[in-house]
Chains A and B, each alone.
Chain A
Amino acid sequence: MRTLRGVFAALLTIVLTADGHASQRFDRPLPGARSPRNASYDIDVRLEPADRSLHGHERIRWRNISANPTSELQFHLYWNAWRNAESTWLRERRLGGNTNTPRPDAWGSTDIRLLRVITPGRVDELTPRLHFIAPDDGNTADRTVTSVPLSRPVAPDETIDIEIDWSAKIPRPFSRTGYIDDYYFFGQWFPKLGVLEDAGWNTHQFHSGTEFYSDYGVYDVRMTVPRGYVVGASGREAGLTDGPDGTVVHRYHGEDIHDFAWVTSPDFLVRTRAFTHPTLPRVEMRLLLRPNHAGQEDRHFDAAAATLKYYGEWFGPYPYDNVTIVDPAFQSASGGMEYPTLFTAGTRWIAPRREIDVEEVTIHEAGHQWWYGVVGSNEFENAWMDEGINQFSEARADEAAFGSRNYLSRRYFGGVIPWVFDDIRVKREWDEGLAGYRAQAESDAEATPSFRYWPSTGGNITYFKTALWLHTLERWLGWPTLQRAMSTYFDRWKFRHPQPADFFQAIGEAAGRDMTPFFDQVYRGSNTFDYGVQQLTSTPAGKDRFRTTVVARRFGEATFPVEIVTTFNDGSKKTERWDGVERRAIYRYDGAVRARSVEVDPNHVLMLDVNYTNNSRTLDPRSGDASLKWSLTWMTWLQDLLITYASLV
């Protein structure tokens, strides 16, 4: 037993002192490259607008960078999520509350016509061996993952070529892909390999609440589209040639990317602008803008440039020399999505400048170039590592670049007519969805694989809980420390696949302390934080003396150190530091001045506190004034409503 314990301790030491916890043993960059480039795709694809189909031929050069040989290959066929109503994606969508049945013309699918594996001196036709698997839920109706047994295993560091012929029925817009009118957006559109880790294949089915995961490589893609169609794609345009029957072939080439998306439509306005910065590399920004948004060119470019600037300064420079911003068609369901070197923004016809929705979505998706694109975390299992970290990063950039004109707005009349509330300036923490998190705080522990989150509430955990605990860390440790941790993490894990522990390790290193108790609560647990004031009294205790008693209370199950500040009538303050572990802390003060108020966590360090109203108490409350003012305001709203509805009688 002692020997076993010793081996375990030795292993733990190795793991903890190693440069992270790589899930693939040979994930170092190829010489002269930024990434391992172990999954490179060479694709010819033809768009047939007449029958809304794609026809493709791809050749994948794949190297096994795991520690073990494999005797099978696994591929994602994402578009089969819309092949039948019993796919896991549609089942989960129904669980999430969307019970709409897709219309007959909405379905999409991918069929592999031919699959062969080529090794030196050998070609194996493996098409008949293809079979669908459902590693996550055993759903036999789900066809989003296919497996093919190999004739002989592929050893670690061995390279093979795979050829695939496939056809796809383009769906009506589903989950950021598909067509509407003559606008086509193609995401997850080709048969794509899963990720072979040391522990085996990591090829999850397509889930309604999570995204993707794949290896880095070089993509060389030739897209044949009707003449007059503008194309935007991952990578950079590398050629344009005439094709048959009035078509044009657009060739795009991208290096060290792990996915490839493209868009085409005859309606785009093409704009370009350069991002320049004293210390960051120059980036060419290309904007594909819908004609009805022509006046919003600057807003898109400004937001993209703000991302390149702030993310570049805070975390590390954008490693590519170009980025494409796509303004998606209305009702295309393709807005607000990230792909390597290309992302979709999303704006509205009427978009007041005093609300920054278009800037926010642009910064968010551009920000994913760092958290998803360059740091390639597993979005199926740890969606918070890209969405949550990026949500936090985006809010910082939003505030830094556009905070002065960020006001709350609401939309009326079917969502078309906006109204901006000049009284309500949006603060960064609201952007983190405290309200959404508060309502669903206990719905899932963040450590649960993201694809197993409850579909309708998972977003609050993935996005908002993460952003809130990052805000908490920023306020607790200070931005310089957190920024150092995040830039270290970015630099250490760029073009690789980090695990949650790698992020926690970077935070712990920068903080110079054991952060395990914090992450035990915010990551591994689902308890809520709620500190408050249970009691405040300040009563006469002899001549010109007052005895003040403060009782601070931990109402939630989770713990966090907090400050307690008592303010007296002469403006003096007493500050206490409470570790927040016990249920309550009692403080007594004897003095010549009566207490006025007490606040627990007055600087709102603990952004995860689900009830901040109970964090303070005053002996001179103004709830009467506030409630009178707001009930009168509300009464006017009700009177207006009554008159409007009564106008019918």
Chain B
Amino acid sequence: MRPWCDGWRRVVSAPAVIAGVFLVTLLAALPLALTLRGALRDHLGSSLAANDAADGVNYDWWQEFTSQASGIGTTFTPSIIGFATTLDSVSGLLDRRTLIAPIASALGIYVGAWMLLTGGIIDRYARGRRVGAHGFFAASGTFFFRFLRLGAGAAAVYWFLFAYVHEWLFARWYVNMTRDVAVEQTVFYWRLLMYAVFTALLALTAVVFDYAKVRAVVEDRRSMIGALIAAMRFIVRHPGRVAGVYALNAALWLAIVAIWAIVAPGAGGSGASMWVGFAASQCYIVARLVVKLQGLASETAVFQRSLAHWGYAAAPAFVPPAPPIVDARAISASR
């Protein structure tokens, strides 16, 4: 619990990080949202159908739009409303739903942005004090290419999990186990077991690579294979703490999702109610991001607490070079 609380303290003491990742999340989604807006506006044109669509749900028009839509328009389904968003995204991930190219591209950019920022975020949390924008981005740049190498390894593992393990679990084992079952609950429990196994594998992979990143940053490791091995060694030696912190983070995620299930706004109307609903949705997005940051912060705290010096970070604080004018003055003075 202590590392988790410590992680929480580090997250809340760095609101700029939260704001930054929220901005990145917003920017990653905005271009496609603007594209969709154009498509919706074009389809509605000057039709009176827009009145009902603006004031609530015009499902007649909605179905008409999706029947002719292509690209991101095909994702404009009722699942975008309220809590269904979360059900849709989690279910889509665990059921291995194929993402259409524009969404996959946005995801690729978003993941790339996270790889860029993660070094800076962990560095900030490891130090537990302000490092300034220059320090943050210097650390981000320092670790970006290392994390790219690490990301390649993670991608290979995830590809194996989704391409083979998922297929084996859901398309073979699950099908074989449930083929002769005539009771839906029993089938669902089997499915739940498959989800649990698959989620556990995903979580284990994520934790290993998270700790590899933490060790890479805290110990200023250059070898990502070394960081990965060190991360695994750490997890094996401290399974209780690692699992405990992960469970607390998972519980936090569940609590936020449960609250979202209750308060998620519906379609709403236009004008002020639209903005209130949008603000509520963005609060949820921020909460989801905080959970992710809390994961990194608490894992950093777990690792640092196992070291001799609490709060140790091997990498020196970044000292920015003097601006060229300083050198010019020094040269002119020496003359």
Contacts and interface: CB of A to CB of B under 8 A. Distances in A.
Interface of A: 180-183, 267, 290, 292, 329-332, 348-349, 408, 410, 412-414, 416-417, 419, 421-424, 427, 430, 434-435, 438-439, 536, 597, 599, 611-619, 621-649
Given A633-B81, A648-B206, A642 B28 contact: yes
Which 3 pairs show the lowest CB-CB distances between chains A and B?
A631-B37, A623-B44, A329-B182
Among B75, B87, B103: residue with most chain A CB under 10 A: B87
Contact of B81 (A423, A642, A648): A423
B248 interface: no
A183 B182 contact: yes
Interface residues of B, number: 98
Given A412-B88, A628-B37, A644-B93, A638 B48 contact: no
Nearest to A347: B184
Interface string B76-111: 111111111111111111110000000100110011
Contacts of B111: 645-646, 649
Given A292-B184, A419-B84, A649-B151, A599 B48 contact: yes
Contacts of B38: 627
Contacts of A611: 64
Contact of A626 (B54, B64, B185): B54
A573 to B, nearest CB: 14
24 contacts: A183-B182, A349-B184, A413-B91, A413-B95, A419-B87, A424-B267, A434-B63, A439-B67, A536-B46, A613-B65, A616-B47, A618-B47, A622-B270, A623-B50, A626-B40, A630-B80, A636-B284, A636-B285, A638-B33, A638-B103, A642-B25, A643-B292, A649-B206, A649-B209
A330 B110 contact: no
Contacts of A332: 182
B50 A625 contact: yes
B37 A633 contact: no
Contacts of B49: 612-613, 616
Contact of B78 (A408, A417, A536, A615): A408
B67 A435 contact: yes
B258 interface: no
Contacts of B318: none
Interface of B: 25-26, 28-30, 32-34, 36-38, 40-41, 43-51, 53-54, 56-61, 63-67, 75-95, 103, 106-107, 110-111, 114-115, 151, 154, 158, 178-185, 187-188, 191, 195, 202, 205-206, 209, 266-271, 274, 277-278, 281-282, 284-285, 288-289, 292
Given A331-B187, A413-B95, A623-B47, A640 B78 contact: no
B87 A417 contact: yes
Contacts of A413: 87, 91, 94-95, 191, 195
A109 B180 CA distance: 20
Given A330-B182, A331-B181, A410 B292 contact: no
Contacts of B92: 641, 644
B50 A637 contact: no
B282 A636 contact: yes
Contact of B53 (A292, A416, A424, A626): A626
Contact of B288 (A416, A627, A634, A640): A640
A416 B80 contact: no
A627 B36 CA distance: 8
A637 B61 CA distance: 20
Contacts of B28: 639, 642
Contacts of B285: 636, 639-640, 643
A632 B271 CA distance: 12
Contact of A414 (B58, B93, B180, B191): B191
Given A419-B87, A613-B64, A618 B46 contact: yes
A632 B114 CA distance: 23
Contact of A637 (B79, B106, B188, B277): B79
A647 B64 CA distance: 34
A630 B69 CA distance: 15
Given A422-B266, A622-B51, A622-B54, A636 B289 contact: no
A638 B92 CA distance: 12
A290 to B, nearest CB: 7
Nearest to A291: B183
A612 B26 CA distance: 34
Contact of A331 (B79, B86, B182): B182
Nearest to A532: B47
Nearest to A265: B182
A642 B51 contact: no
A424 B75 contact: no
Contacts of A627: 37-38, 40-41, 44, 50
Contacts of A626: 40-41, 44, 50-51, 53-54, 58, 270
Nearest to B151: A649
A181 B183 CA distance: 10
Nearest to A435: B63
Nearest to B24: A642
A410 B34 CA distance: 26
Given A413-B94, A638-B32, A613 B115 contact: no
Among A412, A438, A611: residue with most chain B CB under 10 A: A412
A637 B80 contact: yes
Nearest to A419: B84
A643 B284 CA distance: 11
Given A412-B88, A617-B45, 4 more contacts: A438-B67, A616-B47, A621-B44, A644-B93
B182 to A, nearest CB: 4
Given A332-B182, A348-B184, A621 B26 contact: no
Nearest to B76: A634
B50 A646 contact: no
Contact of A643 (B25, B79, B183): B25
Nearest to B77: A410
A582 B65 CA distance: 27
A633 B107 contact: no
